[in-house]
Amino acid sequence: MDIKTKNGRNNLDKSKNALAGKGISIKKSFEEKGANEPFQPANEYWALFEKSKNPLLMIDGSFRFIKCNDATLNLLGAVSKDQVINKAPSYFSPRYQPDGQLSSIKAAEMISRAYEKGQHQFEWVHKRLDGVLLSIKVNLTAVPLKKEKILLVNWQNITENKKAEETIHKLHQAIEQTNEIVFMTDVNGTINFVNAAFEQVYGYKKGEVVGKVTPRILKSGIMAKKFYEDLWKNLSGEKGMNREMINKTKDGRLINIHTSLSPVFNDEKKLTGYMCVQQDITEKKNSRKEISCG
């Protein structure tokens, strides 16, 4: 049995205090060293930071970059980290963001919000050193570091996605503004899109026809059954079609239509539906009849 004497207890307490004192000294020394020297994370984490394929940076309380990885240099067209370190985010931005705000002011707002909330995500237009603009999804995460917090910055380049979205938007606008009737269906002929010209010519609002099968809405009752059988036979064979036909409007009028039908495929070459472009040629047909009668 161990018997602790008074002196033994005093010696044990002194040893604990000594160890605790050393711990405090080491911690204090580490913090003092960290306050005067650049931030150096543990080797394994630093390796992950450096080797990440995503551009990663760090921002401190000065609202400037204090660290960046090689992926950041590649994205910005820089050759040295000295071209990035100690620069504010607005340095790599156009003067104004798309919403009209000054980049310098808005950047400070985004950083402040991240510090307040602990995390903040948003889209930003950055500028490479060669002047090329980039659309970036920015993720800011507050990370405790000794006596202060820094922001870990993760950039995701979405420039190509934005260009694709812009192209789709322009195409949609063009389809909406054309005088030609345009509508789309799924593989079963159910309408999933109509443009403004469709509404104007046929008299139906989009909400009245989307989700309805095309022939049931527009069928005039004049075209032979074989016409529709041949139509679907061509479409089932993934072939397009150009023909004249007679359709019926919402108010019951019969109109002559020139129809161009084309199959639509996805990236895997799988048939996803059909696109129909039509012209109302009723007046043209009537004019020809009048000329013939004359």
Per-residue pLDDT of the chain (294 residues; tens, 9 = 90+): 443 434 444 433 443 343 333 333 323 333 344 434 444 556 677 888 899 999 999 999 999 999 999 999 999 999 999 999 999 999 999 999 999 999 999 999 999 999 999 999 999 999 999 999 999 999 999 998 777 889 999 999 999 999 999 999 999 999 999 999 999 999 888 999 999 999 999 999 999 999 998 777 888 888 878 887 777 777 776 777 888 989 999 999 999 999 998 889 988 889 899 999 999 999 887 776 655 555
Where is the domain boundary, 134, 161, 188?
161
142 and 250 co-located in one domain: no
Of 255, 254, 250, 251, nearest in space to 278 by CA: 255
Expressed as residue numbers, the domain containing 254 is 170-293
| Residues 147 and 200 occupy one common structural domain | no
With respect to residue 178, please indicate whether it lies within any of the assigned structural domains: yes
* One domain, residues 152 and 188: no
* 2 in a structural domain: no
Predicted confidence at residue 294, as pLDDT, reads 53
Instruction: Examine residue 27 and state whether it is found in any structural domain, yes or no.
Output: no
Domain identity same for 201 and 232: yes
Residue 104 lies in a domain: yes
Query: Residues 141, 215: one domain?
Result: no
Residue at which a domain ends, from 161, 192, 217: 161
What per-residue confidence (pLDDT) applies to 155? 97
Say what the pLDDT of residue 258 is.
Answer: 94
For residues 125 and 232, membership in a common domain is answered with no
Q: Which residue is associated with the tokens 């046929």?
A: 202
The answer as to whether 13 is a domain residue is no
Q: What is the pLDDT of residue 15?
A: 36
Residues 251 and 184 in one domain: yes
Whether 145 and 188 share a structural domain: no
The total number of structural domains in the chain stands at: 2
Judge if 243 and 187 occupy the same domain: yes
Q: How many CB atoms lie within 10 A of CB 235?
A: 19
In a domain, 195, yes or no: yes
For residues 79 and 145, membership in a common domain is answered with yes
Give domain status of residue 15, yes or no: no
**Residue 226 is assigned to a structural domain of this protein:** yes
How many CB atoms lie under 10 A from the CB of residue 261? 19
Indicate which CATH number applies to the domain containing 283: 3.30.450.20
Q: What pLDDT was estimated at residue 11?
A: 39
What does 85-147 look like in DSSP terms, one character per residue? Answer: TT--GGGGS-SB-TTS-BHHHHHHHHHHHHHHHSEEEEEEEEE-TTS-EEEEEEEEEEEEETT
* Same-domain status, 126 and 189: no
Residue where a domain terminates, one of 120, 143, 161: 161
